Amino acid sequence: MATRYAASLSFLLSQLGAHVAHRFGTELAETGMSPRGFGVLSNVIDLGPRTQQHLADELGIHRNNMVAVIDELERDGLVQRIRNTADRRSFLIQATPDGVRATSRAMNIVTALDAEIAGSIDGDSRETLDRILLELVKSAQLSPGVHPHLTSQRSPQS
């Protein structure tokens, strides 16, 4: 038997969120990307080439930490650093064809994970769930696509 908090909305969201994040990280490993690497690359692809600073602002990652993320993506041939001729202090981060392919595979992983997680509920409930979660994200004033773990909120452990 568990304790009283176990069925609270807050705990359920936290518990499920941590579980899903862990599952995603595990599945994503196959692409060679870290979750934050995927987040950065995905944004580079959708927004077009951007400076590290711009991406850092966009995702709530500190520019100091962005360096290692880009280093890793570049080492794996998923992005390139291009000198910004307009402002030679900065680099434009550009996705490579391999990067685009890896992101495509990662999106398939997301879709498969969504299906796995929601597997036990019927279509109506699934639609309702999606709608409510989007509403909750909105009312909590969370930015779409920005994961709190990446941002600098110094979050307590559990």
Partner DNA sequence: TATTGTTATACTCTATAACTATA
Partner DNA sequence: TATAGTTATAGAGTATAACAATA
**Beta carbons of 79 and 44 less than 8 angstroms apart:** yes
Using the minimum distance from each CB to DNA, give the nearer residue, 25 or 113. 25
26 binds DNA (CB under 7 A): no
Query: What DSSP line would sit under the chain, residue for residue?
Result: ---GGGGSHHHHHHHHHHHHHHHHHHHHGGGT--HHHHHHHHHHHHH-SEEHHHHHHHHT--HHHHHHHHHHHHHTTSEEEEE-TT-TT-EEEEE-HHHHHHHHHHHHHHHHHHHHHHTTS-HHHHHHHHHHHHHHHHHTTPPTT--TTTSS------
CB of 17 to DNA, least distance (A): 15
Question: Of the ranges 9-17, 40-48, 59-67, 117-125, which one interacts with DNA (CB under 7 A)?
Answer: 59-67
Partner from its own copies, DNA, none contacting 75, C-beta within 5 to 8 A by type = none
Q: Does 67 bind its own copies (CB under 8 A)?
A: no
Give the nearest distance from C-beta 131 to its own copies in angstroms. Answer: 8
21 binds its own copies (CB under 8 A): yes
Residues 113-152 that bind its own copies (CB under 8 A): 113-114, 117-121, 125-126, 128-130, 132-140, 142-150
Which residues contact DNA (rule: CB under 7 A)? 34, 36, 51-54, 56, 62-68, 70-71, 81, 87-91, 149-150, 152-154, 156-158
